[in-house]
């Protein structure tokens, strides 16, 4: 597992858990729930914020929010099985 903030554009993952309980409710209200698939769509030129696709829509997250989301990276698994 690694933080969402470490993924690159085009990387995919599945939300596994959260590191920061303070952001837990906010992130879950935005569709970031364990088991949900995500894809990194864009990263701002200075790296913050990032745009992801989750639960059928695009969502912008600050790096501190993305760092609180632990991801099972499925990018390479998708490439191997494609």
Q: What is the CATH number of the domain that holds 28?
A: 2.30.30.90
Q: Model's pTM, two decimal places?
A: 0.81
Q: Model confidence over 7-52: pLDDT tens digits?
A: 999 999 999 999 877 888 888 888 888 999 999 999 999 989 999 9
Instruction: Report d(CA 76, CA 82) in Å as an integer.
Output: 10
**Domain range for 67:** 2-81
Q: Model confidence over 51-72: pLDDT tens digits?
A: 999 988 899 999 989 999 999 9
Helices (runs of H) and strands (runs of E) counted in the chain: 3, 6
Stronger pLDDT, 14 or 75, i.e. the higher one: 14
As for how many domains the chain has, the answer is 1
Of the candidates 10, 21, 13, which has an alpha carbon nearest to the alpha carbon of residue 70? 13
- Tell me: pLDDT of 76 over 70: no
């Amino acid at each position: 597992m690694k933080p969402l903030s470490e993924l690159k554009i085009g990387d995919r993952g599945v939300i596994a858990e959260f590191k920061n309980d303070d952001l837990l409710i906010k992130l879950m209200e935005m569709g970031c729930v364990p088991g949900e698939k995500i894809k990194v769509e864009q990263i701002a030129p200075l790296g913050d914020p990032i745009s992801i696709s989750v639960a059928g829509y695009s969502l912008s997250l600050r790096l501190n929010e993305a760092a609180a989301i632990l991801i099972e990276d499925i990018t390479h698994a998708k490439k191997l099985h494609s």
